Structure 1
Amino acid sequence: MVAYKVTVMTGDLLLDGTRDHVFIILYGTEGKSERKKLNEAPELSSGVEKQYNLECPASLGKVIMIGLDKEAYLFLPDDDWFCVMVKVETPENETLHFPCYSWVMERQLLLVREGKAMTRKNDTIPALLEHRLKELEVRKQQYEWKELVEGLPHCLALDNTEALPAEVRYSLDKRMDFLLTAKTTIAELKIKFLANSKKPWGKLEDIAQVFWFNKTKTSDYVRQHWKENEFFGYQLLNGANPMMIQQCQRLPQKFAVTADMVQPFLEGSMLPVELQNGNIFLCDYSRLAEVPTNVINLRPQYIPAPFCLLFKNKEDKLVPIAIQLQQEPGKNNPVFLPSDKEEAWLLAKTHVRAADFIEHQFNFHLLRTHLLAEAFVIATLRHLPSAHPIYKLLIPHMRYTLQINTLGREKLISEKGPINMVYVYALGIVDVFYPTDLEVVSDEELQSWISDIYKHGFLELNSTEIPKAFTSVKEVVKFITMVIFTMTAQHSALSSGQFDFGGWLPNSPNSLQAGVPQSKEQITEADLLLSLPDINTYVWGMAAAWIASKRSGDFVLLSQHREQYFSEPEVLSLTEKLKEELKEISKKIKERNEGKDLPYTYLDPEDIENSITI
């Protein structure tokens, strides 16, 4: 008889354990073991690591796969079990890792292969090749594409979160945390009778009373400084949406601003000089000019499509110097200036902030992180088996993304900097498995993956410059870096500050219900109040922003995921190196933030989540 030691690790979240009987089979190159019962209830409870002995009449050869299944305990209801990892110590003193991270369910045999990363070309054992093909066959049935809206990336063809496979759904801990935050937030609104109020705001001070408990240091700072020109410019670089501002070298033809208009705000200089010196910046919201408007509370809503010109002054502060609220110049579309009446200039800036809110939420946040991330996830699940090195590299960054996107469609839209750090990490791991460009070109699974992303994520548009196929290691590294960055740091920069900068309504209106003013004369604070969304429109939007911005109980920091999909020493050392580099980046960011009234933390690795979960 030969003995194998089997160590079984159960997930440590609520209800991950089981009272049911769990069975295991070892598959080797020279045979398989008998089906052996491992546990007696309640041995495999949450967080438990348990070791068992398994004897076989003869050696199984190289153990390549394990099979897990379970049976109900007595006559009790089915009790699914979440297996994290199984380790097998062979008679030859070799320790093999079988990364599972899956639910074992009644009457279903779960096959898990040994954890060494392998491209299809190097996978020569017939049983493993068969497992590879069957795994993708099942996944392609589970994760099908559908077109939700013409022109947007395709998404998962499921209509509700309950239909999602168990492995990609929120854990019970996550669901409870999410629901508790949502219910307490909504309860506060209902207690104040705000959730159903369709009235306009009476005065600005009323807005400060909306959320008694849901406040942040930043949201309080925003409420105190939102009228200031320097803070207006600051937000375009360091706020919730740092994506719109661009250096301006030539003014758009439709922007009716002249050099004489802005001369008084350039600290003795001239516009052509400052354009040449790179100190003039522009936010152009022309994409919004054709966006259809909505009707809320029987009131038509309005979407401005402004130009906003900014100047970087001698103190390195960015300040707005001219705003035009509609694209087409004309008598009824004046250029607003800082020298205008205070109420007129403030109203113009508020319209720009409303336009920025729309661009932020629907373009940069929803489209460019959530929807693209979903395309990356679906293509990964459909084309990269669990043994593939790129699957192992990416899957920790895809935790819960399908759940939050499906939930969003179901509930919301029915009817050495971080980049260089990630690039070094991706380059190191890709190089381990793709020593030459030929290895990339010949990897059929990898080529199918990028082809699916190009077709369903980027709709086969050459203008996106996304590759249809990979021809080099360099291309793979660049693309993988983009995927990881999008699903971690980019999402953090666009999501974490939603409530911080949007909690004070006038600073970031989620809708406007008065059209752009056609004259700068006679504008009062009442015009600003009338343009803001009604009470219920605002409070529901801010409740969603609070829920989306609050760190959940099972928040996983960038690179700190506990799942260990790789077992190769060279990859594990790269992961540890990444963690050390992230610590150094975090330390430097904290040093830069010391003494600042409003520190920027959204790209601090200690505030970046490892995947898009909310």
Structure 2
Amino acid sequence: MELVAKRGKVEYEIVIETANACVGSARNGNSLIIELTGRDGTVTGPIQLNEIGDENFSRGNIDGFLKSAVDVGLPILVRLELRDIEGKNPLGVRRVKVWYRGRKVVFPVHDWVENELNVATGEAVPYHKVHNPHVMAVLKREVKYAREVLRWVPRPGPTDSKANLPRFVDVHMVSEIPLIFRPTEQWTLSLEHNPVHANVAKAVDLLKMTKAELNSLESYHVLYKVFEEPGKRSEFLDRWRSDEEYGRQQLNGIAPMALERCSNIPETSQISDVHVKTLLGGKTLTGEMKAGKVYMTDFTTIIRDVKRNKQQQGQQMYCPDSICLYHVNCSGDLFPVAIQLVPGDPDTIFTPENSELDWLLAKMYHKVAFGCVHEWYHHFLLTHGVMEPVAVAMFRSLPRSHPIYKLMKPHLQTITVINVFGRADLLASGSGANSAMALGGDETSRETFKTFDMNDLNFPELMKKRGVTNTKTGLKYLRSFAYLILGLNDPKLLPKFYFRDDATRLWEIIEHFAATVIRHYYPSDEDIVADRFLQDMMEDLATDGLGWEDEKHRKGLPYPLRTVDQLILLCTSVIFTSSVHHSAVNFPQYDQYKYIPNSPLAMRLPPHKKGEATMERIMNSLPDMPMSLAAVATTSSLSSYAPDEILLLGDYPVKLFVEKKAKAAMRTFRRQLDKYRADVKKRNNEVPYPYEWLLPEKIAASISI
């Protein structure tokens, strides 16, 4: 029990640093109470810092107070409380500093005070190293409260739309989202005004004024000009029809992870030497596959059982279960050499030796499958979908003073807010995204989540694999990073794969940072096993978050957590996925999809057969005006960076760590990113088509859009 001190009084200097994040008006206007607890559990009793209506605690302010209170020594805990509030405005607090007899103690809060908040001193301490019983009691109350506020969405039945998906926090609108998930209210409010709907309305109004029609391939250029500055034009649009550009976009475009090395032609395809031998310079497919020069994007099974969407007027949309073979030529460039649009139908096999329009239309159809799998699998499921339960489990299980909380919070705080919007505005039936795409978000995500394994996010391990069979399902791992699974890690065999090179380097930098911090707080495996908070987080994630339907394997999660290396791998995977992976598959979207013929997301006619392609057939197949507007507006909105206050990788303006070792690790992290940036820019200056999407200044630290 807390003991009210019966000692003499002493003067405490108290400083409250307010975050630039108040809800409501810029001035808080509330009365803030603080109570200090000493090492022996004695408390000062409530100390009122200001009167209601005083102009204290404005956004970003630093307010200082000299208060006489009973002497409890240098405090180890503070309790903050908002009192007597009408029209309560929660207060965002960055830090509390307390001076006692010339000594200072800092309490890093970085949270919202809604009613009452208890905060321990700034040192990051695992569960088993918290020796003060008063501090432990506060930490346990904090976790108990978090579990009451952050509830998992109820477990769905087998026919529920939420079945076969990662679970998430039980909120459905912005007003229900706990404030812990909102770094600033400005950012949250900026998302409430649906940018997709606003962009569509903007485009419709402008196009009405110009009376634009889609009657040629060139006419599609007018759509994206609505969202760009006059005169701006992406260089690749001048060569979009070329096979070289098609291969470049596969390697270094929106979803390079869809590519895999081809060691055998899948049974679903009838592509053979007859179709490609001339294109391979007289060499055989078997020989070139053995030489590591044949690659593929194969969608013949991954979306086979996914129902296709319909247009808003009820007409069917089309997306083929297609496969494309690529070949690395003597110059090291990746070229498409064959596409089969319908498994089992050799009349839908096309190569560059067919008519120009047959081949062009085949490439467009394959891009539909590519785009839908990118959006709902590589983008939504493998970043948004699997990272939200990690965030929920962490915030439910770890107190804010925990070292893993401090390490992971900058990378997980924003995911729940953005997913609440995404589930309503993107995944839901009838959403703008589903009116533009041939495959539905919910169904595609459920189908691909069936074989998801946490090891799919283990970048370096996947680089070593060669067609490994998933012992859990008997199926090959779905291609979350398939280029790593089937051997795209050799730059001699597959040069100019800048995404692979940059992502590998970033993984190593992130891993070094995470390992340095974690080994400081967990010197041995015994420390991992002894940390009850950490073990509770893993149990929550494995049994309620990601692995709730997979009782035997728990989606490959290390549960229970037993070693330091397991924790390093988990944290590295989460930071990498939330930053590097998400940025690579999110921010290039508009560039990839803005010109509809380059990368359509749906077709209005079923796949053609040899000899059927004409320009009229192409125009009748491509998306019409409503579908095209929805696609361009959606990808334009999703490709936008969040407001300035959302962090980039390596930025830590919120000072969660106070220990010298952890702060030194952050400085080293930034230096390594600076060196990486310089190396990438040097390379980009030496290549004809630079890859810039993974420059540190373009990598958001968390999933915030």
The structure-2 alpha-carbon separation of the partners of 1:561 and 1:529, relative to structure 1 and needing over 3 Å to count, comes to farther
- Where do residues 153-552 of structure 1 align in structure 2 (5 Å cutoff)? 153-169=166-182, 171-175=184-188, 177-178=190-191, 179=193, 185-192=199-206, 201-215=214-228, 220-286=234-300, 287-296=302-311, 297-327=313-343, 329-331=344-346, 333-415=347-429, 417-455=505-543, 456-458=545-547, 459-460=549-550, 462=553, 464-517=555-608, 519-552=609-642
2:75 pairs with 1:66: no
Q: Name the stretch that deviates more: 397-406 or 206-215.
A: 206-215
Alpha-carbon distance in structure 1 between the residues aligned to 2:169 and 2:560: 23
For each residue in 1:106-141, what CA deviation from the matched residue of structure 2 results, as whole angstroms up to 9, or x when unmatched? Answer: xx2221121211111111222222222221222112
Q: Give the SS at the match of 1:553.
A: coil
Match of 1:419, as an amino acid? W
Question: Any conservation in 1 of the 2:650–2:669 contact (CA below 8 Å)?
Answer: yes
- Give the Cα separation in 2 of the matches to 1:385 and 1:80: 20
Over aligned residue pairs, what C-alpha RMSD do you find?
A: 2.4
Match of 1:4 in 2: 12
**2:495 aligned partner:** none
Residues 338 and 351, structure 2, Cα contact 8 Å, conserved in 1: yes
Separation (CA, whole Å) in 2 of partners of 1:356 and 1:477: 33
Alpha carbons 1:400, 1:612 under 8 Å: kept: yes
Q: Residue 176 of structure 1: CA displacement?
A: 5.1
Letter in 1 for 2:623: P
Match in the other structure for 2:493: none
* 8 Å Cα contact 1:561/1:610 also seen in 2: no
Which deviations, in whole Å up to 9, do the C-alpha atoms of 1:355-396 show, x marking residues without a partner? 011110111111000011101101101111212211111011
Q: Comparing 391-400 with 448-457, which one deviates more in the overlay?
A: 448-457
Q: Deviations over 1:332-366 (max 9, x none)?
A: x4310111101000111111111011110111111
Say if 2:200 and 2:629, in contact at 8 Å, map to a contact too.
no
Which whole-Å CA distance do the structure 2 matches of 1:414 and 1:274 have between them?
44
Q: In terms of mean alpha carbon deviation, does 262-271 or 585-594 score higher?
A: 262-271
Identity of aligned residues (%): 25
- Find the aligned partners of 1:49 and 1:429 in 2 and give their Cα distance: 30
Please state how far the C-alpha of 1:502 moved relative to its aligned partner. 0.7
- The answer to whether 1:572 aligns with 2:572 is no
> C-alpha deviations, 1:217-254, integer Å up to 9, x for none?
99623432221101111111111111110111121122
After TM superposition, give the deviation of residue 293 of structure 1 in Å: 1.2
Cα distance change on mapping 1:379 and 1:364 into 2, 3 Å: same
Structure 1: tracts of 5 or more residues without a match: none
Task: Output the amino acid matched with 1:569.
Answer: K
Distance 2:567 2:136 in 1: 24
| 375-384 or 199-208, larger mean C-alpha shift | 199-208
* 2:234 alignment partner, SS class: helix
Cα deviation, residue 606, structure 1? 1.2
Give the direction of change, closer, same or farther, for the CA distance of 1:367–1:90 in structure 2 (3 Å limit): same
Q: Distance in 2 between matches of 1:56 and 1:488?
A: 46
Q: Find the aligned partners of 2:536 and 2:328 in 1 and give their Cα distance.
A: 47
Partner SS for 1:233: helix
Q: Retained in 2: the 8 A contact 1:218–1:598? A: no
1: CA distance, partners of 2:11 / 2:261: 69
Alignment-mate amino acid for residue 531 of structure 2 = D
The Cα of 1:268 is off from its aligned counterpart by 4.8
Counterpart residue identity of residue 441, structure 1: V
Unaligned ranges ≥5, structure 2: 1-8, 430-503
Displacement of 1:180 after TM fit? 8.8
Say which SS state the counterpart of residue 469 (structure 1) adopts: coil
Q: Distance in 1 between matches of 2:134 and 2:250?
A: 56
Taking the aligned partners of 2:208 and 2:297, their CA distance within structure 1 comes to: 34
Q: Is the 8 A contact 1:222 1:501 kept in 2?
A: no
Total equivalences in the alignment: 603
Contact 1:116/1:387 (8 A) holds in 2: yes
Please give the TM-score of this superposition, normalised by the length of structure 2.
Answer: 0.81
CA distance in 1, matches of 2:536, 2:188: 34
Q: What is the CA distance between 1:480 and its match in structure 2? A: 0.9
Contact 2:412 2:702 in 1 (8 A): yes
Residue of 665, 672, 687 corresponding to 1:581: 672
The secondary structure found in structure 2 opposite 1:315 is coil
Asked if 1 retains the 8 angstrom alpha-carbon contact of 2:642 and 2:704, the reply is no
Q: Distance in 1 between matches of 2:243 and 2:594?
A: 19
Deviation above 6 Å: which 4+ runs of structure 1?
216-219
TM (normalized to structure 1)? Answer: 0.93
Q: Distance in 1 between matches of 2:195 and 2:675?
A: 33
Counterparts in 2 of 1:446 and 1:57: CA distance versus 1, 3 Å: closer
